[in-house]
Amino acid sequence: MDNTADGAPAILVSDLQKTYRDTVAVRGLSFRVERGEILALIGPNGAGKTTTLRTIAGIIPPTRGTISVAGRDLASDPSGAKRLLAYVPDDPHLFDSLTVSEHLRFTASIYSVPDWRARADELLERFELSAKRDALGSELSRGMRQKLASACALLHLPLALLLDEPMTGLDPRGIRTMNQAILDCAAGGAAVIISSHLLALVERLSTRVLVLHHGRELLQGGLQEIRGRFPELAGDASLEEVFFRATESAPGPAANAAVSGVPEGQTP
Amino acid sequence: MRRALWLLVFLGLRARYRRLLRGLRTVRGVLLILIGVGFFALIALGPALTAGMAPRPEIPQENLPLQRFGPVGLLAFCLLSVFGSSKYRGVYFSPAEVDFLFPAPFSRRELIAYRLVTILFHVALGALFLAAFLFRYIGGYWQAVAGLFLAFGFINLLQIAVSLVTGTLEEKVVSRGRLFAAGVLAIVAASVFLGSSAAVREGRLLHEILRDWLGSPAFGWALLPLKTFSEMLAAPDLQRFLAWGAGALLVDLALVLVVLRLDVDYSEASLETSRRVHARIDAMKRGGRILASSRKLRLSLPLPPRWGGAGSLAWRQAQEMVRDMPGTFYLVLALAVGVVLPLFLSGEVGDVRAGRLLQTFTVVTVMLPLLLSNWFRFDFRGDHDRMEILRGLPLSAATVSLGQLLVPTLILTALQMLGFAALGFLGGQDPDEARGLESIVRYGPYLSLPFNLLFVALENLFFLLFPRRLVATTPGDLQNLGRLTLLTLMKFAVLGVAGIAAFLGAEGAHYLSGGSPAAAVAGAAGILLLADSAAVALVAWGFTRFDASHVPAD
């Protein structure tokens, strides 16, 4: 986590736009996430959350705009930027025929993690996968796949962690473990972006919130700050109340002309 | 390519064979592998082992069918492969590869190189396995391995190259690129049509024109890159093998270079392809159709009479079949082209009515249920994940079974009837060639329906008793080969018993009626109908004992 440009934000997104043929999934999005910050990306289905995360992860190229990770531009130095990133998709797919420990071995090899076995053991222990280290990817339940994908993501101590719906499929203990892992990661100096529909949970975790609606930024800031945009709400209004007030009063897709959301996890 | 990607290749290969070894932990697994090995030895190694006893078929120095038709066949295969995958742009990566490799610090070229390595590994395994079946007819085992490896490698590389080039063109000149391609195709089609029309007016037969065109020097030069593969496989001596082999290797290397040099940003197209392919594989694992088409026809069939619920179930299956009609159409077209075209062009037959074509047509017509049954899984086999719904219906097991079996039985019968009608027509054109086919054409249609019902019922019975999800297997998966061999033997044993009973019934009726052929057919049909009743009852029994929660997943 040390090989970063001095003073550069961990994640910097400027004027990001992503278009799928005639559909604009994300339009003119700009934000930054500093080290130690947890940014919650929230919005209704089709708001552009997954597209935003996938673009930052370098999985799909942006149509316009720039993304940099600790000063490394994702377009001109993709390998350098990706080396500092980790991304956990909303429905992680594993290699069916590889065992749990082989997934970690492979991930360690990708990021050249020194002394990876000790770190892998620690993560397996943390995510309660120790007993499953010889199980095949195809033998794991949805929740266990989520845990293994998260363990793989945390193995190389990323500077920027991108999590798309990380709590899906987890049991209460798994959710608690995941929360703690996210908090520890941020405390260790990583920037975290988390996309989730579990607003109460996100409210507890995040330091800042970015509300997306039809591919556009609707609100951005700390919870207190965005709460202040709606004086009619009580001072201790929950994120859920703020979210509904913001999205209900926002212009609909018709007002956004060509802007229209894409179902999460899909390209049109 | 980076070390991590080599590690993934190694882990992937090791994992595939670890799965095979896991099969050896049970007695059943060991038995299946033994059967697989036995079958493999019988088919592939048997002729080699008896080579000392029987003389090896002489391979002529020149003019092997492989040399004559290999390049055209390879061209057709490449075109089919490219057009068949035209909706899958970019390079296919499995969902796990997308999740692990795309966000990782690999360059596009490294990922393409990884893809090429994995493909070539599989091609090599396939070539090693397939060569064991073919080497007797080619020249030698290692010659067959090398030739098949380079030829299959070429097909895969071409598909990737075309996909990447198409992606680039689409990105840059979406509509203009398509217009240009359509324009070129239209000009080629018009030239061929005009040339052929002129030649036909001069009194020449169409297949002669086509043969001459395929034999022309211009076409020969155009096909030279493809010719290297067939010549290499057919080379009678080491010198020619090495010369043509070097040419084939150069063609493959040129394609590798093209693929690596293109450096197209394929990530988005690959993501979409990965999603589509995964959805299709998922649907197949759930028991969906092999032919599932993305362009679903939105035709609605009228609801038939209820028939105690069987009609409603059959209607549901028929509706799905109609919606998959484009896939069905392509299959029938491919079958027709695959059977008829090579004979049409072979030069060994004079015209369409020639004997060999008629014989092939007869065999295809009679064997149609066996050839196509697996493609029309509009029955229990396609309802893996709907068994609990079927079990919950307020219908008897026999009714559900009958409703489920009706559609594939009727579609196979309809196709077979078309075949009989075509045979009748072709036989009528040339009675000399049709001699011996008369009884098949005349009496076959009466036995078609009861035989197809029996066959479909057996397929379903074995599926219900030994369910298995449809999955791609590794070349050399002897356990799977053993399982398939055993099931096929069991099915054919039952069919054989039914066939003997039907024959005896026919003979008995023939004797009792004083030599009436109609009575013989009625006797055979009667026995088959009895077998149908028993088979449907067994399917109903299999359905009631089917445990939907315990379908082995590979």
A71-107 residue pLDDT tens: 999 989 988 999 999 999 988 999 888 899 999 999 9
Contacts of residue A231, defined as CB under 8 A and 6 or more positions apart, other chains included, come to none
- Answer whether residue B212 is part of any domain: yes
Q: What is the pLDDT of residues A108-166, one digit of tens each?
A: 999 988 889 999 999 999 999 999 988 888 889 999 999 999 999 999 999 999 999 99
User: Do residues B333 and B193 both lie within one domain?
Assistant: no
- Answer whether residue B552 is part of any domain: no
Partner residue facing A109 (CB), from B7, B98, B103: B7
Q: In terms of residue numbers, what domain contains A164? A: 11-256
Q: What is the pLDDT of residues B244-268, one digit of tens each?
A: 889 889 999 998 888 888 767 777 7
B433 contacts B427 by C-beta, under 8 angstroms: yes
Q: What is the CA angle B236-B241-B247, rounded to 5?
A: 140
User: In whole angstroms, what is the distance from residue B225 CA to residue B469 CA?
Assistant: 40
- Answer whether residue A262 is part of any domain: no
- Answer whether residue A6 is part of any domain: no
Is the CB of A267 less than 8 angstroms away from the CB of B275? yes
Is the CB of B106 less than 8 angstroms away from the CB of A79? yes
CATH number at residue A167: 3.40.50.300
Q: What is the pTM of this model?
A: 0.72
User: Do residues B268 and B177 both lie within one domain?
Assistant: yes
Closest Cα in chain A, distance from residue B479 (Å): 17
Residue B93 has pLDDT above 50, yes or no: yes
Residue B431 pLDDT level (bands cut at 50, 70, 90): low
User: Do residues B455 and B429 both lie within one domain?
Assistant: yes
Q: Which residue has the tokens 């297949």?
A: B207
User: In whole angstroms, what is the distance from residue A227 CA to residue B311 CA?
Assistant: 61
- Answer whether residue A36 is part of any domain: yes
A87 neighbourhood in chain B, CB within 8 Å: 103
User: Do residues B252 and B369 both lie within one domain?
Assistant: no
- Answer whether residue B309 is part of any domain: no
User: Do residues B402 and B430 both lie within one domain?
Assistant: yes
A266 neighbourhood in chain B, CB within 8 Å: 275
The closest of A161, A223, A188, A214 to A28, measured between CA atoms, is A214
B67 reaches A (C-beta below 8 A)? no
Q: Is A257 exposed, middle or buried (0-12, 13-18, 19+ CB in 10 A)?
A: exposed
Please give the residue of chain A at the shortest CA–CA distance from B9: A106
Q: For chain A, what is the domain count?
A: 1
Q: For chain B, what is the domain count?
A: 3
User: Do residues B495 and B516 both lie within one domain?
Assistant: yes
Partner residue facing B96 (CB), from A78, A83, A94: A94
User: Do residues B160 and B82 both lie within one domain?
Assistant: yes
Q: In terms of residue numbers, what domain contains B23? A: 1-53
Closest Cα in chain A, distance from residue B8 (Å): 7
A84 contacts A3 by C-beta, under 8 angstroms: yes
A85 neighbourhood in chain B, CB within 8 Å: 103
The distance between the two most distant Cα atoms of chain A, rounded to a whole number of Å, is 56
User: Do residues B339 and B253 both lie within one domain?
Assistant: no
- Answer whether residue B554 is part of any domain: no
Helices vs strands, H then E, count in chain B: 22, 0
Q: What mean pLDDT comes out for the span B400-415?
A: 91
- Answer whether residue A200 is part of any domain: yes
A73 neighbourhood in chain B, CB within 8 Å: none
User: Do residues B362 and B226 both lie within one domain?
Assistant: no
- Answer whether residue A268 is part of any domain: no
How many CB atoms are located within 10 Å of the residue B220 CB? 12
pLDDT for residue B13: 84
User: Which of these ranges, A69-83, B150-164, B305-319, B325-339, has the smallest mean pLDDT?
Assistant: B325-339
Give the number of C-alpha atoms closer than 13 A to the C-alpha of residue B394, restricted to the C-beta side. Answer: 0
Strand order in the sheet with A64-69: A23-33, A11-20, A64-69, A72-73
User: Do residues B477 and B392 both lie within one domain?
Assistant: yes
User: Do residues B208 and B352 both lie within one domain?
Assistant: no
Q: What is the pLDDT of residues B132-156, one digit of tens each?
A: 777 766 777 788 888 889 988 988 8
Q: Is B54 exposed, middle or buried (0-12, 13-18, 19+ CB in 10 A)?
A: exposed
List the beta bridge partners of residue A192.
A38, A161
